[in-house]
Amino acid sequence: MIVLKERFVMYFRCTFPPATPALEFAAVMPVISLTVNGNPVTVDVEARALLSRVLRDQLDLTGTHVGCDTSQCGACVVHVDGKPVKSCTMLAVQADGENITTIEGLAKDGKLHPMQEAFRENHGLQCGFCTPGMIMTAVALADENPELDEMSVRKGLEGNLCRCTGYQNIIHAVLDGAKAMRS
Amino acid sequence: MYDFTYHRPETLADAEKMFADADDGQYIAGGQTMVPVMKQRLAMPSDIIDLERISDLKGISRDGNVLSIGAMTTHAEVAGSGDVAKAIPALARLADDIGDPAVRNRGTLGGSIANNDPAADYPAALVGLGATIHTTSREIPADDFFTGLFETALEEGEVIVKVSIPVPDKAGYVKFPQPASRFALVGVFVAQIGDSVRVAATGAGPCVFRVEAMEKALEKDFSASALKGISVPGEGLNNDIHASADYRASLISTLARRAVAAAE
Ligand SMILES: Cc1cc2nc3c(=O)[nH]c(=O)nc-3n(C[C@H](O)[C@H](O)[C@H](O)COP(=O)(O)OP(=O)(O)OC[C@H]3O[C@@H](n4cnc5c(N)ncnc54)[C@H](O)[C@@H]3O)c2cc1C
Ligand code: FES
Ligand code: FES
């Protein structure tokens, strides 16, 4: 990673090359096709656009939250091909051809998903900012592990930060939600 | 993040050609380091070449006493692989403790070792197990691959294809996770293969390193008590707000004993 070191030096000496290449490249915008919450969509995106940004700003799916934008908090978690990923840490072009589920895709026919219902019942949220990411992570966790216990829920939620609840009720909610998903 | 041209080749030959043709090309694997680095403008490549679609870089297989893992194999795939769990359970657990589920679903073995973060977990495993890194042009022993802080033996444009790992008799890995990131504040990997023992420490110095005094003691007697009284000097180790160099040195001794006790 010598390149990274050189960049680091450039960063501090403020000797960035001018951003003109960016403008040239912007002329050839990639087109990507995704399935989002069951619906096929085709969008023009900048190569550098994050999946989180395309979902929120171009597809108007603002349920996916951006908390830190630095891969730490998990508010932006969505499912790509059924697996939870941080949408702020994935380029939209990398998701070309994939099946994406966001928090908006969980409720069916006006009825909350069992995990959403469990968060409501267990007071698993306060301000609600972390909740979409928590729920997307929790749904995948419950899908992958038929036998969840408190420790596996805590480990499974390591990448999701909540500044309000103190986590206790989130853990209760995930355990309850997982049970409801199985029944 | 500055814009760039995005490429998604399906063969290694195409990937290398795209790299060669680019002004300032860079490969992307899981992006769990690359995307944050580009956001911070610490890297501003003109071209990003995504290795995702190259099937030659994927998959886990075992041939006799050698386990092979493709560069584009995600941490979650290593953690969930029956072959890995059977051959080297310590490696499966190491992968399962990297970051969090979302990071493990995207981050790859190849990306982790190419990046060579001083606190990354895989470098300890590959050096500890005496693995070989196979690239598009050669085979590099792990001992020669990790050369310094964020530096490896990789040449410009060279792609890691897979790693091959001898299956040990016993191996153990214990890390003291940095509580915020889960990276290793210090992590120690211990492996016994025949009469030889390897001990590799990550997180402690600018780059993974072997602890020869511990290896010699364990070759005579593979037990936690054989490590009694053997310590690594704090001099030259990482010293930051998370831990002093002396604390890291003492962690190496403690974690090495635990890794031996946990080895299976
Ligand atoms: C929140 C968070 C927590 C984390 N916690 C941990 C942890 O606990 N332990 C740990 O070890 N890591 C941790 N990581 C890092 C993670 O493991 C990354 O996945 C890894 O460092 C980079 O892998 P990647 O596949 O995402 O590579 P990328 O980010 O795509 O690429 C990284 C570098 O490798 C190069 N590269 C990628 N593949 C190849 C290849 N096949 N050949 C040649 N060059 C290649 C790229 O050009 C780039 O320079 C964490 C990351 C995050 C965001
Ligand atoms: S917004 Fe993506 S991890 Fe915080
Ligand atoms: S409910 Fe406020 S951040 Fe979790």
Give the model confidence (pLDDT) of A95-136 as tens digits. 999 999 999 999 999 999 999 999 999 999 999 999 999 999
**Which chain B residues are Cβ-neighbours of A156 within 8 angstroms?**
101
Both A74 and A138 in one domain: the answer is no
pLDDT at A27: 52
Both A122 and A158 in one domain: the answer is yes
Q: For residue A170, give the CATH number of its domain.
A: 1.10.150.120
Ligand 3, pocket-test mutation among A66, A72, A123, A127, most atoms within 8 A of CB = A127
Both A138 and A83 in one domain: the answer is no
CA torsion, points A43, A45, A47, A49, in degrees to nearest 10?
-110
Spatial separation of the C-alpha atoms in residues B256 and B188, rounded to whole Å: 6
**pLDDT exceeding 70 applies to what percent of chain B?**
100
Both A37 and A78 in one domain: the answer is yes
**B144-167 burial code (b ≥16 CB/10 A, e <16):** ebbeeebebbbeebbbbbbbebbb
Q: Which residue has the tokens 């495993």?
A: B125
- B189, B170 in Cβ contact below 8 A? no
Q: For residue A68, give the CATH number of its domain.
A: 3.10.20.30
**Residue A9 is assigned to a structural domain of this protein:** no
pLDDT in tens, A147-177: 899 999 999 999 999 999 999 999 999 999 9
Residue B69 pairs in a beta bridge with: B60, B163
pLDDT at B43: 94
Q: Which atom of ligand 2 is nearest to the CA of A77?
A: 2
**From the centroid of its chain, how far is CA B184?**
11
Average pLDDT, chain A: 89
Both A132 and A99 in one domain: the answer is no
User: A163 and chain B: CB distance < 8 Å anywhere?
Assistant: no
Whether the predicted pLDDT of A9 surpasses 80: no
pLDDT at B180: 82
Nearest CB to A93 within list B6, B36, B115:
B6
Whether the predicted pLDDT of B53 surpasses 50: yes
What average pLDDT does range A57-67 have in this prediction? 98
Both A101 and A121 in one domain: the answer is no
Whether the predicted pLDDT of B91 surpasses 70: yes
Both A101 and A168 in one domain: the answer is no
**Residue A67 is assigned to a structural domain of this protein:** yes
pLDDT in tens, B133-191: 999 999 999 999 999 999 999 999 999 999 999 999 999 999 999 988 889 999 999 99
Element (H, E) at B48: strand B47-50
Spatial separation of the C-alpha atoms in residues B258 and B224, rounded to whole Å: 7
What does residue B230 show for φ and ψ, rounded to 5 degrees?
Answer: -95, 120
Integer CA distances (angstroms), A20 to A16, A26, B119, in order: 11, 10, 36
The structure's pTM equals 0.94
Average pLDDT, chain B: 97
Nearest CB to B150 within list A5, A50, A159:
A5
Q: How many CB atoms lie within 10 A of CB A24?
A: 11
Residue A52 is encoded by which pair of tokens?
């989180």
- B167, B158 in Cβ contact below 8 A? no
Q: Which atom of ligand 3 is nearest to the CA of A164?
A: 2
* Contact check, Cβ <8 Å, B151/A26: no
Name the residue among A170, A155, A84 with its Cα closest to residue B99: A155
Query: Which residue range forms the structural domain that includes residue A98?
Result: 30-105
Whether the predicted pLDDT of B27 surpasses 70: yes
What CATH fold (topology level) applies to the domain B58-262?
3.30.465
What does residue B135 show for φ and ψ, rounded to 5 degrees?
Answer: -115, 180
What average pLDDT does range B191-206 have in this prediction? 97
pLDDT at B181: 83
Domain boundary among A77, A105, A133: A105
pLDDT at A18: 44
In sequence order, what DSSP letters do the residues of A155-182 get, joined into one string?
HHTTT---SSS-SHHHHHHHHHHHHHHH
Whether the predicted pLDDT of B220 surpasses 50: yes
Ligand showing the shortest atom-to-Cα distance for residue B35: 1
- A32, A96 in Cβ contact below 8 A? yes
Coil, strand or helix at B196: strand
Spatial separation of the C-alpha atoms in residues B255 and A33, rounded to whole Å: 48
Alpha helices in B45-182 (DSSP H): 75-80, 82-87, 89-96, 101-106, 109-115, 122-129, 142-145
Spatial separation of the C-alpha atoms in residues B220 and B222, rounded to whole Å: 7
List all residues 6 or more positions away from B213 whose beta carbon is below 8 Å from its beta carbon: B230, B232
Amino acid at A13: R
**From the centroid of its chain, how far is CA B127?**
8
Q: Where are the domains of chain B?
A: 5-50, 58-262
- HSE value, Cβ hemisphere, 13 Å, CA-based, for B189: 30
**Residue A93 is assigned to a structural domain of this protein:** yes
Both A70 and A121 in one domain: the answer is no
pLDDT at A29: 85
Residue B232 is encoded by which pair of tokens?
């690594």
Both A43 and A89 in one domain: the answer is yes
Both A101 and A34 in one domain: the answer is yes
**Residue A16 is assigned to a structural domain of this protein:** no
Tell me the CATH number of domain B5-50, given options 3.40.30.10, 3.40.228.10, 3.30.43.10, 1.10.275.10. 3.30.43.10
Handedness of CA B88, B91, B97, B101 (dihedral sign): negative
Please tell me the distance between residue A68's alpha carbon and the centre of ligand 3 in angstroms: 13
Alpha-carbon gap: A21 to the closest alpha carbon of chain B (Å):
8
pLDDT at B170: 97
User: A48 and chain B: CB distance < 8 Å anywhere?
Assistant: yes
Please tell me the distance between residue B99's alpha carbon and the centre of ligand 2 in angstroms: 14
Ligand 3, pocket-test mutation among A122, A131, A171, most atoms within 8 A of CB = A131
Domain boundary among A74, A105, A136: A105
**Residue A146 is assigned to a structural domain of this protein:** yes
Count of structural domains, chain A: 2
Amino acid at B126: L
- A138, A144 in Cβ contact below 8 A? no
Nearest CB to A48 within list B4, B100, B105:
B4
Pocket of ligand 2 contains residue A71 by CB under 6 Å = yes
**Residue A5 is assigned to a structural domain of this protein:** no
Whether the predicted pLDDT of B120 surpasses 60: yes
What average pLDDT does range A47-69 have in this prediction? 98
pLDDT at A13: 37
Residue B228 or residue B180, greater confidence: B228
Integer CA distances (angstroms), A84 to B75, B109, B130, in order: 13, 19, 33
